[in-house]
Structure 1
Amino acid sequence: MNEFNQKSTSKALSLTLTAVVAALYAAITMLVAPIGFGPVQLRLSEGLNHLAAWNKRYVVALGLGVLIANLVSPLGWIDWVFGTLGTVIMTGLTYLLTRQVQKPLVKIIISTIVVLTIGMGILAAEFTFAFAIQAHGAFAPDHSSASLLTNWLSYYVSLVPGELVSLVVGGIVIYALSKVVNLKK
């Protein structure tokens, strides 16, 4: 009976942590909503993406958090689908690449690289797609008659600085947290 109670407690804790991180992501995004959406954004909640380097539950948590936050996105369904999918892909990749890594700083560096390359690449593609189909809420790049690649690159370059700031702030917080809490559990 004791083993059953331990498994139940472990599942409940995992579900609770997933819900808390999803809620934190959504709440932080909503708090900075005016600057948390668009081709130039500072979505501080993105710093939580580093958690995926410690436990796969955070891939789900962050995906849910993004879905909830993106319910108020000016891009509507496009952000619900592609924003969430992009987060699951980049955090899933972060988890896979850092499973065997023990040093927190190395985990955060790998996570930062994945988010800035894969994550922002997917988000820039989402914005390019939304603009190309003239979706409601789409953001026009400075050179609207340019090629898809040029538009994608324009979005990508405008997204990276804010994302880097969010990842550095989040990295500092997650690094400090990893020193006092076992994030793998």
Structure 2
Amino acid sequence: MSMSYVKDSPKSTVNELAKTALVAALYVTVTFVFAVISFGAVQLRLSEMFNYLALYNKRYIVGVTLGVALANFMSPTWLLDVPIGSMATLVALLISRALVKKIKNDILKMVITAIVFAVSMCAIAFQLNILLGFPFWATWLTAGIGELLSMTIGGMVIYALNKKIDLTK
């Protein structure tokens, strides 16, 4: 049996799909449980910890992006948050993976990813400015700080989890 057959087997495809769906479901669940702090100009979206999974395996890019899209339907600004927030997440995940591709140190990878995501909060500031008239720069600052805090807390969780479970698989 060749390795390519095993990799592309129906069992392998179902396994990949299940892991992707699990990450999306976890993202939505954590966002929902902490909904009161997950939306707005000042937010602490703890589900952002799942962004780090994409550093371990590219399959999670889809799972996290799908999770963000679904979770953002709970947002008071869902009309823009679903497409813009989801696209911002996808772009930030792709940029993060590209920037850390040759880096071996997991903590450095996480720091770079956290910074990329904090900067990407300009998309949230933009939509809150358009829909609710929030001041762009102040909103970007508060959303970015909240994102850095979320990613720091989440980074510690994912880093510890990766010590117990191989997240690359």
**TM-score between the two structures when normalised by the length of structure 1:** 0.83
Q: Which residue of 2 aligns with 1:37?
A: 39
**Structure 2 gaps, min length 5:** none
Contact 2:30 2:46 in 1 (8 A): yes
Cα drift, residue 24 of structure 1:
0.5
Cα drift, residue 174 of structure 1:
1.1
Cα drift, residue 159 of structure 1:
0.9
Q: Distance in 2 between matches of 1:89 and 1:129?
A: 21
How much identity, in percent, do the aligned residues show? 37
Which of these residues, 45, 54, 58, is aligned with residue 52 of structure 1? 54
Q: Distance in 1 between matches of 2:158 and 2:123?
A: 24
**Structure 1 gaps, min length 5:** 131-137, 142-150
Contact 1:55 1:95 in 2 (8 A): no
Q: Distance in 2 between matches of 1:6 and 1:167?
A: 32
Contact 2:115 2:148 in 1 (8 A): no
Contact 1:71 1:80 in 2 (8 A): yes
Q: Distance in 1 between matches of 2:129 and 2:148?
A: 21
The alignment's C-alpha RMSD in Å is: 1.7
Q: Distance in 2 between matches of 1:15 and 1:95?
A: 21
Contact 1:121 1:156 in 2 (8 A): yes
Partner of 1:183: helix, strand, or coil? Answer: coil
Which of these residues, 139, 153, 165, is aligned with residue 155 of structure 1? 139
Higher helix proportion: 2
Which segment drifts farther, 52-61 or 28-37? 52-61
Q: Distance in 2 between matches of 1:180 and 1:7?
A: 27
Count of aligned positions? 167
Q: Which amino acid aligns with 2:115?
A: I
Q: Distance in 2 between matches of 1:124 and 1:15?
A: 33
Q: Which residue of 1 aligns with 2:150?
A: 166
Structure 1, residues 42-66: CA drift from partner, whole Å, max 9, x if none?
1110121111222221111111001
Contact 1:54 1:99 in 2 (8 A): no
Q: Distance in 2 between matches of 1:103 and 1:183?
A: 15
Q: Distance in 1 between matches of 2:18 and 2:82?
A: 23
Q: Which amino acid aligns with 1:164?
A: L
Cα drift, residue 10 of structure 1:
2.9
Q: Which amino acid aligns with 1:62?
A: V
Return the index of the structure with the highest Cα Rg: 1
Structure 1, residues 28-83: CA drift from partner, whole Å, max 9, x if none?
00111122111111111012111122222111111100111011211122111101
Q: Distance in 2 between matches of 1:111 and 1:153?
A: 21
Cα drift, residue 121 of structure 1:
1.8
Q: Which amino acid aligns with 1:108?
A: M
